[in-house]
């Protein structure tokens, strides 16, 4: 606050509680180790479309990228899924904690009211069952219909977006997802890296939601 953002006495700040409540206040004093803030008002978070990004776990920094950028873009939850062609089938507690730290830092960066939640790894079949309450369930598949028109037509209150490994899902996994109510959606005819596909899918869905919200307000 003091050294990076150059805040001083009487600067206005926003403080986010764990439940997402945003408190607006003024700095009354600030030092090397702490600041004292006088709270002026509280604002509860507004409810929007809850987006879950379910992705096949990939190796190293590329999964860190998905976590960080997914949180910045506005996903509410991230589900690491284990699928037939996935690169990683075991995730340590230390790695999960690292992802949670990254999500918290990204929430602060993006001024999100609540950090993206990172759930424990989940198998593909269990993921399908867990997602059953989502208003719109999407699974990315090469050659499928574009994402944006599907989202705009559905105007969903919640989305589960599933993105696979670079080798794509197996035909059995796609069939199981479709039987569970998932709609296959695509990102054009390019073969994308897993992290690129996940971020593109999330960005397109969020943009389509913003368009539908804009139309409803007119």
Q: What is the pLDDT of residues 107-166, one digit of tens each?
A: 877 666 678 899 999 999 999 999 999 999 999 998 899 999 999 999 999 999 999 988
Residues 38 and 57 in one domain: no
What is the reported pLDDT for 46?
60
What is the reported pLDDT for 218?
47
Q: Is residue 132 part of a domain?
A: yes
Residues 18 and 57 in one domain: no
Q: Which of 201, 192, 186 is nearest to 58 (CA)?
A: 192
- DSSP 8-state code for residue 157: S
Q: Is residue 154 part of a domain?
A: yes
Contact 155, 211 (CB under 8 A): no
Residues 124 and 198 in one domain: yes
Residues 65 and 123 in one domain: yes
DSSP H or E run through 212: helix 194-217
Please identify which residue in the block is written with the tokens 């379910």: 54
Residues 164 and 68 in one domain: yes
For the chain, the domain total comes to 2
More confident residue, 47 or 71: 71
Residues 56 and 139 in one domain: yes
What is the reported pLDDT for 88?
76
At 59, list the tokens: 């190796």
- DSSP 8-state code for residue 119: P
Q: What is the pLDDT of residues 2-38, one digit of tens each?
A: 888 788 888 988 887 766 677 888 999 988 888 899 9
CA distance 99 to 105: 10
Sign of the CA dihedral with 188 first, then 191, 194, and 195 last: negative
CA distance 12 to 10: 6
Residues 182 and 103 in one domain: yes
Residues 108 and 22 in one domain: no
Residues 73 and 120 in one domain: yes
CATH of residue 158: 3.40.1280.10
Residues 65 and 154 in one domain: yes
At 95, list the tokens: 């790695």
Beta bridge partners of 80: 55
Residues 59 and 26 in one domain: no
What is the phi/psi pair of residue 53, to 5°? -105, 110
Structural domain of residue 22, as residue ranges? Answer: 12-43
pTM score, whole prediction: 0.78
């Amino acid at each position: 606050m003091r050294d990076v953002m150059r805040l001083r006495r009487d600067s206005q700040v926003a403080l986010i509680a764990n439940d997402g409540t945003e408190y607006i206040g003024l700095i009354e004093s600030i030092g090397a180790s702490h600041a004292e803030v006088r709270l002026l008002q509280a604002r509860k978070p507004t409810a929007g479309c809850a987006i879950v990004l379910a992705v096949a776990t990939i190796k190293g920094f590329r999964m860190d990228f998905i976590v960080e950028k997914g949180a910045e873009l506005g996903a509410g939850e991230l589900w690491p899924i284990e699928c037939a062609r996935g690169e990683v089938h075991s995730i340590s507690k230390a790695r999960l904690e690292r992802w949670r730290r990254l999500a918290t830092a990204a929430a602060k960066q993006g001024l999100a009211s609540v950090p993206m939640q990172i759930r424990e790894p989940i198998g593909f079949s269990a993921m399908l069952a867990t997602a059953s309450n989502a208003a719109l369930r999407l699974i990315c598949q090469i050659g499928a219909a574009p994402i944006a028109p599907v989202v705009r037509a559905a105007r969903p209150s919640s989305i589960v977006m599933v993105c696979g490994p670079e080798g794509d899902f197996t035909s059995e996994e796609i069939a199981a997802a479709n039987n569970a109510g998932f709609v296959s959606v695509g990102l054009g005819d390019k073969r994308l890296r897993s992290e690129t596909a996940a971020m593109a899918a999330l960005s397109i869905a969020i943009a389509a939601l913003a368009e539908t919200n804009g139309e409803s307000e007119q």
